[in-house]
A = this chain, B = another copy of it.
Amino acid sequence: MTGRPTLTVSTDDPTPPYEQLRRQLSDLIEYGVLGPGERLPPLRQLASDLGLAVGTVARAYRELEVAGLIISRRGGGTRVAVNPRRASEEVLHERAAIFVRDARLLGADDEEIKSAVTRALGR
């Protein structure tokens, strides 16, 4: 499976396009599908492929750059950061937040959530 990742944007999804893009690229980097130094499509190409304005794609890239996942340079294109800081704490905290949100959605209180984790830890 050597094909390049296919990014998509759905107009049915009320999530703003720049955010849909940001999430997909963030996932690709987190899972290592896009490795350090790997090149991302040029703004204009990705924009035309997805039917978006350049500024919209630029916003997704900008937010990923602020997060330290990619690096953009004029004329040099955009590449995955050498060491996209994400493997450790950031992802852990994000996952913890998602877990707590989901648990609360299910109706669990703080005690139940903590004890469920303790149990999953195997005591």
Contacts and interface: CB of A to CB of B under 8 A. Distances in A.
Interface of A: 1-8, 14-16, 18-19, 24, 27-28, 33, 101, 104-109, 112
Given A14-B19, A16-B14, A8 B104 contact: yes
Which secondary structure dominates chain A's binding surface?
loop
Contact of A106 (B15, B16, B33, B108): B33
A79 to B, nearest CB: 18
A48 to B, nearest CB: 18
Given A14-B16, A14-B19, A15-B19, A28 B105 contact: yes
A107 B35 CA distance: 14
A4 B105 CA distance: 8
Nearest to A14: B19
Given A14-B19, A15-B14, A5 B101 contact: no
A32 to B, nearest CB: 11
Contacts of A3: 107-109, 112
Contact of A107 (B2, B16, B108, B112): B2
